[in-house]
Structure 1
Amino acid sequence: MRNLALAVLFVAAPPALAAGPEVVALGDSLTAGYGLSPGEGLVPQLQRWLDDHGAAATLVNAGVSGDTTAAALARVDWALTPGAKAMIVTLGGNDLLRGLPPEEARANLDAILTRAEGAKLPVLLVPMVAPGNYGPEYKAAFDAIYADLASAHGAILGEPLLQPILDQPDRQAALKDLMQPDGIHPNAKGVGLIVDVLGPEVVQLLGRVK
């Protein structure tokens, strides 16, 4: 009877979603899930979104808190495991927090995308947006990096990562309801809004996997 019950459960269970191609999410604390429980971060929420929408993929969390574009470049060869088939790049936030020169971030991101090209991996490049307190020249130079590099490398250009939160009609309420107390990292609810925008972009990325 026990074997029969197991057989019935096996037959009745819905087919599991295929593992799908391995997609490396290369980023900093916003990717790593800083301040959140293991299931609330960007990568696990995005994985659930893909599963729920029938998009077969296996996301690999290659986010490291505190990473600048230079630090991510130093470990990109390690992050791109032999099984990787695509890459999501979400970097630049710590360059902004430190006020590093935009030309350095541009060069580092250019090198990261060049490594992905060499490995024949399609890339989704997710921008960060510079605040205005560094001045208009800095902001213009930094914000231009992502579109320029996406065009140069044939990468998919995503929406700025935090834009779904910044687009909320009441900015102060959004900071309270969707961000952690540090005002830098989204909380689980804020990550959910980000994933609703990021998910379809990753589906587009999966369409480029060979």
Structure 2
Amino acid sequence: MSAPAQPFPHRRQFLLGLGLLSQTGAGPRLRIVTVLGDSITAGLGLPARDAMPAQLQAALARRGVSVVVRAAGVSGDTSGGGLARVGFSVANDTAVCVVALGGNDLLQGVDPALTKANLRGVLRKLKARGIGAVLVGVAAPSTIGAAYAREFNAIYPSLAREFGVPLYANILLGVNGDPALLQRDGIHPNAAGAKRIAEALAPVVARALKA
């Protein structure tokens, strides 16, 4: 009498093949860049595809750096608001967080010492979680008061040195004052302005990802 036939003689090999197929089909997991900021990074007045985070992802891709850029900008947010929400706005799978806060502090005349303390708190929280950072500043014009502008503008390079993180000193560099790159309010970048910011910021973020 012959032995009964096995219902699935190559079951182990079949399951192994499925496992390998699923792994190869999934591909490598892309790293995450989160942009923590205010209305400029939130893309106020723009569709999401034209806002700075999406433009940054495209600019990095053109440099051969494949990432997913998450937008975590809130219109009107100050450095204090960013500090309050960094724990839940920046997910744990973030490789690098672009910290772009301070513009609303400047508009509201917040004490630069307080702005610096808040940004230091943000950077400390990111460091404690093992998340890299890029610090993005905003330039204070001397017309608001030379002493205030000097103290405010010193915040960003000082913190960049303290934490050893890359610095992009002025988010609106090359955009501010150019009607072709701004919306009608004369403050927020249009799609072309957001692209200009993203192109300038991309190499700084790329270096942070390598680090």
State if a TM-score over 0.5 links the two structures.
yes
Displacement of 1:24 after TM fit? 1.2
1:92 partnered with 2:102: yes
SS in 2 for 1:60: strand
Q: Please, which of 39, 51, 63 is the counterpart of residue 73 of structure 2?
A: 63
Q: Percent identity among equivalent residues?
A: 38
Aligned residues: 187
Displacement of 1:159 after TM fit? 3.6
Q: Distance in 2 between matches of 1:189 and 1:19?
A: 30
Instruction: Give 1:196's aligned residue.
Output: 199
Q: Distance in 2 between matches of 1:201 and 1:16?
A: 29
Contact 1:19 1:57 in 2 (8 A): no
Q: Please, which of 133, 144, 151 is the counterpart of residue 134 of structure 1?
A: 144
Instruction: Give 2:58's aligned residue.
Output: 48
SS in 2 for 1:165: coil
Q: Distance in 1 between matches of 2:92 and 2:74?
A: 20
Work out which of the two has the higher radius of gyration on C-alpha atoms and give 1 or 2: 2
1:29 partnered with 2:32: no
Displacement of 1:17 after TM fit? 9.1
Contact 2:157 2:169 in 1 (8 A): no
- Partner letter of residue 116 of structure 2? R
- Partner letter of residue 143 of structure 2? N
1:177 partnered with 2:180: yes
Instruction: Give 1:119's aligned residue.
Output: 129
Contact 1:22 1:57 in 2 (8 A): yes
SS in 2 for 1:107: helix
Q: Distance in 1 between matches of 2:50 and 2:145?
A: 35
Quickly say closer, same or farther: Cα 1:16–1:134, change in 2 above 3 A: farther
Q: CA RMSD in A?
A: 1.7
Contact 1:17 1:56 in 2 (8 A): no
Q: Please, which of 173, 190, 204 is the counterpart of residue 163 of structure 1?
A: 173
Q: Distance in 1 between matches of 2:51 and 2:62?
A: 17
Gaps of 5+ in 1: 1-14
1:154 partnered with 2:149: no
Gaps of 5+ in 2: 1-24
- For residues 133-176 of structure 1, what are the alpha-carbon distances to aligned partners after superposition, in whole Å with 9 as ceiling and x for unaligned? 3211100000000000010011111141101224xxxx5xx2x2
- For residues 57-99 of structure 1, what are the alpha-carbon distances to aligned partners after superposition, in whole Å with 9 as ceiling and x for unaligned? 1111110111000011100000221211211000100001111
- Partner letter of residue 200 of structure 1? P
Q: Distance in 1 between matches of 2:86 and 2:46?
A: 24
Quickly say closer, same or farther: Cα 1:18–1:74, change in 2 above 3 A: same
Q: Distance in 1 between matches of 2:57 and 2:191?
A: 14
